[in-house]
Structure 1
Amino acid sequence: MFTGLVETTGKVLALEARGESARLTLNVGAMASELADGESVAVNGCCLTVTAKDAAAQTACFDLLMQTLKVTSLGDLHEGSLVNLERAMALGARFGGHLVQGHVDATVKVLDWSEHGQDHRLEVEIPAEQRGLVIPKGSICLDGISLTAAEVTESSVVCWIIPHTFQLTNLHTKKAGDRLNVEFDMLGKYVRELMRAMK
């Protein structure tokens, strides 16, 4: 379980195809010395398992299943790409974001990424089958970042990005047309499934 509060960013060193899977190798900086084999890390919002690490080289490796590559935007990564990183939440720690499982629901296209004074406006499309899972002032997780839905239209959601988030995440590398991983609020998904079951 995660909170959507990005701890740091990492840089892609390699994404190697291995049959129907792939291995992702990242430079994760000082975080490498704190990771254990088998630990869960959210990489751009996708919960991955550390399969190898090298504290001296500040690297960590993750194996990606075909399903992961199909559902997320991790297959778009290339050498030098910046990714958001968050370790699993610690029991008893402050809970500053919202409940995030690291189970990506879909990818969404950036419709608008524009500067407005010191802030940035981020608008992403919402797939037709997922509409209704975002409410105004509710939470949404984009590329592993817990954000507030400032505006919700029939087909999109708008989030306003403060300078802190812009500087400390991978958002400053994004542009209109890029794909982001999205995880919708868990409560909304449970309510939808319960309503379907009641019908």
Structure 2
Amino acid sequence: MFTGIIEATGHLSNITRLGDDYQVEVTSTELDFSDVHLGDSIATNGVCLTVVSFTEQSFKADVSLETINNTGFKHYAAGQTVNLEKAMLPTTRFGGHMVSGHVDAVSHVQSVYDNGRAKDVWISVPAELQKYFVKKGSVTVDGISLTVNDVTDGQIKLTIVPHTFAQTTLAKVRTGDAVNLEVDIIARYVENFVSQNSGSSGVDMSLLARSGYLKK
């Protein structure tokens, strides 16, 4: 589990094809590897990867065919800059939101506008995921915990403050860029609970709508 607060950036220093899947090496001079162990999880552009070996400035991880087909790893090449976050600890400040590192879709940046010292970034949303986004809710983009500031049909707006631009891969974001998207996991649990218990618990979609939990 992660928080979506990026600790460092790095780059894919090597990608080795092993049959149908990959083994990647991620190098970073910024990430603290002093407490990394074999089997640890490190979110890499929002994808939860398991450490299979490491040095003082790098780690290797296997990337399954499932991950390749459903994340940006399908298009990554050696040299790709990535956001990095080690798995959260019980003592970690919970500065973002609950992030699983399981990417739901690859989306694309539709537009980028200046907004004072910040920037407004509009990102496309697949139709099947639209229901999980609400204004002032949370979303993970390339591993970064961000606030959804507006929702339209097929898009969400994110306002990126200067610190986030400086410390993540968003510093180079451009229209058309592909990004890994993970919806708020709590929304998925609520949906599953309601669908499994509708009619038996008294909680259903109509009740949630009347109570203001669903966008009309």
Query: TM-score interval w.r.t. the shorter chain?
Result: over 0.9
Count of residues in Structure 1 that have an aligned counterpart in Structure 2 = 197
Equivalent-residue separation in structure 2 for 1:59 and 1:93 (angstroms): 23
Q: Structure 1 stretches (4+) deviating beyond 6 angstroms?
A: none
For the pair 1:9 / 2:20, whether they are aligned, the reply is: no
**Larger RCO (alpha carbons 8 Å, 6+ apart):** 1
Q: Secondary structure at the match of 1:32?
A: coil
- Structure 1 match to 2:214: none
Q: 1:93 Cα shift?
A: 2.1
Max Rg structure: 2
Equivalent-residue separation in structure 2 for 1:115 and 1:83 (angstroms): 24
Equivalent-residue separation in structure 2 for 1:198 and 1:124 (angstroms): 33
Letter in structure 2 aligned against 1:26: V
- Structure 2 match to 1:38: 39
String of CA shifts for 1:95-151, please: whole Å, max 9, x gaps: 110011111111111111233332111111110111110100000010000000000
Identity %: 36
Q: 1:198 Cα shift?
A: 4.2
For the pair 1:151 / 2:150, whether they are aligned, the reply is: yes
Matches within 5 A, 1:46-61: 46-55=47-56, 58-61=57-60
Letter in structure 1 aligned against 2:174: K
Task: Report the aligned-residue RMSD.
Answer: 1.3
- Structure 2 match to 1:93: 92
Letter in structure 1 aligned against 2:20: E
Q: Secondary structure at the match of 1:31?
A: coil
Q: Secondary structure at the match of 1:100?
A: coil
- Structure 2 match to 1:28: 28
